[in-house]
Structure formats: structure tokens, C-alpha cells
Structure 1
Amino acid sequence: MANTFINRHGYLLIQLLVLLGLLLLLCQPLAWNIELPVQFWVKQSFVFALWVGLFYLNIKLLVPRLLFRNRMGWFVLAILGAFVVVLFLFSAIDYWLNLPELMHRTFPDKIEAQSNNFSFRPHPIFSLTTLMLLGISTTISVVQKWQTDEASRQRLEKQKITSELSFLKAQINPHFFFNTLHSIYALTMINIETSREALHTLSRMMRYVLYETQSGTTLLSKEIEFMQDYINLMKLRLTEKVTVTFDKPNPVRDIPVAPMLFLPYVENAFKHGVSALLPSNIHIAIHQQAGIVELVVRNTVLPEKRVVLEESSGIGLANTSRRLDLLYPGQYTLAVTEKTPENEYRVHLKLNLS
């Protein structure tokens, strides 16, 4: 809105300056300090009106109706026609006002007597000024349309990105919710009291999802608390063979961050790095330095696991990558190592939020 206001008033100022320049050009004879016939000033007023009319005829009619509609041939013909008509009227006003004879009487030593017959001989300065006026008005219209189109394109792109982010976020949240409910359902078969605790933790997490993430950003400290709740929830169903560590900054320097941006990588580690029979490790770390936030997630690569549709879909990871592209273009690096020498799956996300 502010840019539109500035552009609109900027173009009005340019138009006023152009018209002021024309007026000063026509009023230059005032500096001669010589009394000129009234007919001369009538002609100057008429010429100014011609130029103003031609200026706005080109801006408001010829350029929008012809040039912007790809009718280049008609536009060139219209410009040439308008140029010839203006030159004709310039010559005609001299004839109608008998101005050559009057100017000869005023400047008998400088202006030769001319016949009072009509002749199509416009002054070179007038012709050049008319051509410049047509060029300036065309340029103003073209630049103004380009800026208007660019502003519209950016506005549409922003709306598209906002809609796409809303769609991606709507996909991620139910995906997370479905996975967590599936875990709690399995837990109810083993320990009712623990499952109650898990439901309480889940309710706190869902309040965060529903109420704390609607503005598009959240504080890093709240996002870390949310991750801690998720990790605690997942640890309730793990056996002694699984070791989970979570390193976080202390203290946390709060900065805005997209909500639930880190969760899919943590969730993926719990889905694919946990075994009830084999020793396994999950290591999650968040590092913060100035405006840079890093997430490192490592989990043990296990032998072939039972494949289920929910685990193989990869909805959360795919959407998170798309969210990163939309929200932090050129501000992040994401490195995924399928299998490190330590037999671990490793994700390293680095965000530059400065």
C-alpha cells in the first residue's frame, strides 16, 4: 500500500514537472523585456494547451489502448498522426492570428516580412519539443505499467505462498497428531496411568499447535518446549535399549521461528531409529549462536523394519522441505546423511535468522 502511494504521487510529480518545463519554455520571451503583441501570448497559450492535450492523450488513450494491447502498428500510426496534427495546428495558429506580420512589426530588423498565406513550416524547436513530449509520456506510461504489473505479480506470489504454507501446515499437523495418537493407543494396552500422563502431555502440545502457531511464527523457546514434550511423550513407550538425549541452548535467546519446523526430523528419528530388541540411540541437539540456529538429529540405522503406509509416506519431511524453501529461501542449509560411519542417519539443518 505504501509503495502504491509513493509510486502514484511520484508519477504525478513527474507529470507536473514536465508541464512546468513546457510552461517555462513558452514563457521564456518574458525575459526579453520587450512588449509583445497579445496575439503572441494567445498562440503560446494555445500551444501549451496542445502540448498538455497531446501529453495526456498519449498517456491515457494511445499507450493503454494500442501499445499495451500489442497493436504496435496502430500505435506508431497514431503517434505520427497526432504529431502531424499538432504541427499543422501550430502552423495554422500563426496564419489565423496573422502572427508573422505582427512579429515583423515588432522586430523589423530581425524578422523579415512574410506573406500572409498559410504555409506548413513548424519551428524546429517546437517539432523537437513535441517529439520529446511524446517520448516522455510513453516512457512514463510504460514504466508505470511495469511497476504496477510487478506489484501485482508480487502480491499474487505472496498470496500463493501464504496459501501454500497454510496447506502444508494443515497437512503436517494432522500427520503429527495421527502418529502421536497411534503411539498413545499402543500405550493404553500396557499402562493406563502412563497413558493418562501421555494424554495430558498431548493436550498441552495440541494447545500449542492450535493457539500458539496461528501467527506464522513462534518463539524459539516455545518451540523447544514443544519438542521436549514430544520427546518425553515418545520416551514413555521406549524400552531400556533405546537411549535418547536432547541438548538445547541454556539460556535460550528468543528469536521468531516458523512453528513445528523441527518436529518432522525428530519424529522421523523416533519412527526409524527405535527398536525393542536391538540397542539404539537417538540424539537431538539445538545449537544457537547469534542469529544462527542449528538442529542436529541422529538416530541408529536399524535392520529392515516392518514397512507400513504411514511410515513410508514421508509427508512430514517433504512438507518441511517445501516450507523451508518458501519461508527461508537462501537462508538455510539442509544436509541429510543416510548412513554415517557410526551407522547413524543424520540430519543437519542450519537456519540463518539474523
Structure 2
Amino acid sequence: MSGFSFQRFLTPLIHVLAWGLLALALLLFQPMQGRVELPVQYWVKQGALLIFWMGAFYVTARVSVPRLLLRGRTGWFVLALAATVAIILLLGRFLESTLHLSELMHQAFHAAEQAERRAGPGGLPPRPARGSRFDLVGLLITLLVLGIGTAITVVQHWQQEARLRERLDQERTEAELSLLKAQINPHFFFNTLNNIYSLTLIDGERARAALHRLSRMMRYVLYDTASGHAQLSQEVAFIQDYITLMQLRLTDRVQVTFTHPEPVREVLIAPMILLPFVENAFKHGVAATAPSRIYIGLRQPTPQQLEIEVRNTLFPMVGTDLAGSNGIGLTNTQRRLDLLYPGRYTLRVTPKTADNEFEIHLKLLVSGA
């Protein structure tokens, strides 16, 4: 809460400090030669100019830039700036004329010059009347104030747009990830429940053990992955449980191999990001009448680098495509990889290897635990 309050008052504080520095500069910007007693009218004009510059700054920043420049009306914006400069210069001349400042300044310099001459040799050079020349300093300060007001407003507008785009991208990413995860999880549980249902017709005790294992997996999905990240060891155990459940209904003609580091080096990984590759192998690499094999290898060359290789036997009558049987699993997994690990993964798919296998090879760079 204190941080929020500080940010709330930071911008007004910066404005106060900036105008205070400008006011100090106006106080210091005066004839410093000799002992010139400037008339009160000089400070009245300087104070009025400071107010004019403040007004020009905020009119430019709050009105001209948002309503003209940022809406593509560049010509009108330039005219507005020119009119503002002209108005401030005319007001400055009007104040000089109304306050008789030229005559008063001339008298002040003349009095100082006489005092210097009486005090000793040398003295102040003749000072021309201020009304006899163009106010170049006032013009430069006016242009500087308007330029700063324009630059600050444009930069703030760009920053706001960038933050808005970032927030929208984040919300879109979170929504897509939630949708993708919601699609993948029911897809997996639907297949697993079908497997357990088939097992209940054969062996009730093994079916109860399988339900217990499935409940453990559901607890992992529903609670342990709520933060959006999981430990690699949890994901490995989840895959192992999945393989065990799938093997309950497989015959000895199916050879399943799962290798992984022992022990794994803990890193954070997106939950169930590897499961669709394994699920795809069981879905398309198993036949009822022919020998088949599935290989799942997880390697960890470095603590932050993961590699998973999945191979399954190809069968002429079984379609082996990335989308799975209903277009949910691997297609969305690739989308999740794009969202979660942009530029940090490589996925190679080989539809048919020399050993008549379908192969998926994923390299993934993850963060530490």
C-alpha cells in the first residue's frame, strides 16, 4: 500500500521540482555585473512568464498532444504550438509595456553605472533598453517548455499502449492456456476411465488399484498443479502412473520402456506438457494382433535442459497424426509450447524412421526449481 501511495505522489512531486528549478533559474538569470537594483516590475514579469509557461506546458500536454498530435492532426498541432509561442511572446511584450519595464531597467542600469564610476575606474558598459531588441531568451524557454511537454506526453502514451498490449497479451495467453489445459485433461481421463472400465470386467482387484492410482493422478492435476508449474519429479511420477494404468489392459505382445534420470534434478515444468506425447504413442502404437513397442526416454543433459524422445511402432491400419484421434492432444500441446516456451524449445517429428517407427523428439529449456 505504501508503494502505491509513493507512485501516486511521484509524478506531482517531479512536476513541483521541475518548476521549482525553472523558477530558480529565472531568479539567477539576471544582470550580475555591478550592483544593479532590479525593479519590482522585473520580478512581476518573470513570475507572470513562469505562470504562462506552466499554462502552456499543461495545455500542450493535456490538450494539444492528445487531441491533435496523437490523433494524426499534425498540421493543426504545429499551428497550435506556433499560436502558443506567439501568445506568450506577445504577453511578455504587453507586460513590459504595461509595467514600463524598459524604462525602469534602463534607469536601474544607468544608476548602477553611475555608482561604479563614482567608486573607481571602469564600470558597467552601456545597457540597451530591453524593449529595443527581440526577446530571444523568452522564445527559447518557450520552445523548450513546449518541447518537453510534447515529449513527455508522447512517451507516456507509448508506455501506456505498451502496458496495455502486454496486459492484453498476458490475459489472452492465460485464457488460452486455461482452455488448452481444460481440453487436455478431460481427454486423458476419458481414455483412462475407458481402460479401467474394461479392466473391471476382468479383474476387480486390479481395477480398484487402478482407480486408486487414477485418484492420485487427479489429485496431482487438480491441486498440485494449481500454480501453473510442477516439479519435474512430480511430472515423471505422473507419466509413470499413466504408463502403469495403460499397461493394465495391454498384452505381453506390447513392449513398453520408460527411462528417466535417477534421481531427476528438480526444475519447474508446465504440468502435463509431456503427457500428450506419451498418450499419442499408446493410442497409435499398439495393435491387438501384432507385436509392438513403445519407447519413452527422458534425459537431462543439464539441469535446465530436458529432452524427451518417444517412439512407437507404425501399423498400416492405424493413422499416426499429431492431432490424435479427436484433434485435441498434441495439437494443443504444440500451442502450449509456443505460449509457455517461445524460442526455448525445438520439436522434431519423424513420421517414419528406418525402424518403421513414429518418433517425436522434444528439447526444452526450463527454469530452475
Judge conservation of contact 1:293–1:352 (CA < 8 Å) in 2. Answer: yes
Partner of 2:178: 166
Tell me, yes or no, if structure 1 residue 280 matches structure 2 residue 280: no
Report SS of the residue matched to 2:289.
coil
Report SS of the residue matched to 2:226.
coil
Judge conservation of contact 2:36–2:108 (CA < 8 Å) in 1. Answer: no
Partner of 1:58: 60
- Residue by residue over 1:1-46, the C-alpha shift from the partner in whole angstroms, topping out at 9 and shown as x without a partner, is 9999998777656645643442233112274453211111111111
Aligned CA distance change for structure 1 residues 330 and 120 (closer, same or farther; 3 Å): farther
Report SS of the residue matched to 2:216.
helix
Deviation for aligned residue 1:224: 0.6
Aligned CA distance change for structure 1 residues 62 and 185 (closer, same or farther; 3 Å): same
Aligned CA distance change for structure 1 residues 73 and 183 (closer, same or farther; 3 Å): same
Task: Measure the CA separation in 2 of the matches of 1:10 and 1:319.
Answer: 45
Judge conservation of contact 1:165–1:323 (CA < 8 Å) in 2. Answer: yes
Q: How does 1:293-308 map to 2 (within 5 A)?
A: 293-305=306-318
Please, which moves more after superposition, 190-199 or 154-163? 190-199
Please, which moves more after superposition, 208-217 or 315-324? 208-217
Task: Measure the CA separation in 1 of the matches of 2:31 and 2:263.
Answer: 76
Tell me, yes or no, if structure 1 residue 203 matches structure 2 residue 215: yes
Deviation for aligned residue 1:67: 2.1
Report SS of the residue matched to 1:225.
helix
Please, which moves more after superposition, 169-178 or 311-320? 311-320
Partner of 1:290: 303
Aligned CA distance change for structure 1 residues 161 and 5 (closer, same or farther; 3 Å): farther
Aligned CA distance change for structure 1 residues 99 and 263 (closer, same or farther; 3 Å): same
Report SS of the residue matched to 2:141.
helix
Q: How does 1:41-120 map to 2 (within 5 A)?
A: 41-108=43-110, 110-112=126-128
Letter in 1 for 2:93: S
Aligned CA distance change for structure 1 residues 254 and 194 (closer, same or farther; 3 Å): same
Task: Measure the CA separation in 2 of the matches of 1:87 and 1:160.
Answer: 51
1:152 aligns with one of 164, 168, 180:
164
Q: Structure 2: state its 5+ residue gaps.
A: 111-124
Partner of 2:138: 126
Judge conservation of contact 1:91–1:120 (CA < 8 Å) in 2. Answer: no
Partner of 2:353: 340
- Residue by residue over 1:174-204, the C-alpha shift from the partner in whole angstroms, topping out at 9 and shown as x without a partner, is 1111111122222223322222222221111
Partner of 1:313: 326
Report SS of the residue matched to 2:286.
coil
Tell me, yes or no, if structure 1 residue 22 matches structure 2 residue 22: yes
Tell me, yes or no, if structure 1 residue 141 matches structure 2 residue 153: yes
Letter in 1 for 2:100: N
Task: Measure the CA separation in 2 of the matches of 1:11 and 1:30.
Answer: 34
Deviation for aligned residue 1:68: 2.3
Report SS of the residue matched to 2:258.
strand
Task: Measure the CA separation in 1 of the matches of 2:55 and 2:129.
Answer: 32
Task: Measure the CA separation in 2 of the matches of 1:70 and 1:5.
Answer: 35
Task: Measure the CA separation in 1 of the matches of 2:325 and 2:70.
Answer: 52
Tell me, yes or no, if structure 1 residue 322 matches structure 2 residue 324: no
Aligned residues: 348
Report SS of the residue matched to 2:271.
coil
Aligned CA distance change for structure 1 residues 16 and 271 (closer, same or farther; 3 Å): same
- Residue by residue over 1:248-298, the C-alpha shift from the partner in whole angstroms, topping out at 9 and shown as x without a partner, is 111111111100000000000001111222111111111112211111111
Tell me, yes or no, if structure 1 residue 257 matches structure 2 residue 273: no
- Residue by residue over 1:109-133, the C-alpha shift from the partner in whole angstroms, topping out at 9 and shown as x without a partner, is 523468xxxx796401111221121
Judge conservation of contact 2:260–2:297 (CA < 8 Å) in 1. Answer: yes
Task: Measure the CA separation in 2 of the matches of 1:323 and 1:306.
Answer: 23
TM normalised by structure 1 equals 0.91
Report SS of the residue matched to 2:298.
strand
Letter in 2 for 1:194: R
C-alpha RMSD of matched pairs (Å): 2.6
Deviation for aligned residue 1:321: 0.4
Letter in 2 for 1:183: N
Task: Measure the CA separation in 1 of the matches of 2:330 and 2:206.
Answer: 29
Partner of 2:363: 350
Judge conservation of contact 2:284–2:319 (CA < 8 Å) in 1. Answer: no
Judge conservation of contact 2:196–2:211 (CA < 8 Å) in 1. Answer: yes
Q: Structure 1: state its 5+ residue gaps.
A: none
Task: Measure the CA separation in 2 of the matches of 1:2 and 1:314.
Answer: 50
TM normalised by structure 2 equals 0.87
- Residue by residue over 1:302-348, the C-alpha shift from the partner in whole angstroms, topping out at 9 and shown as x without a partner, is 221389xx953231101100000000001111111111111111111
Report SS of the residue matched to 1:286.
strand
Task: Measure the CA separation in 2 of the matches of 1:176 and 1:305.
Answer: 19
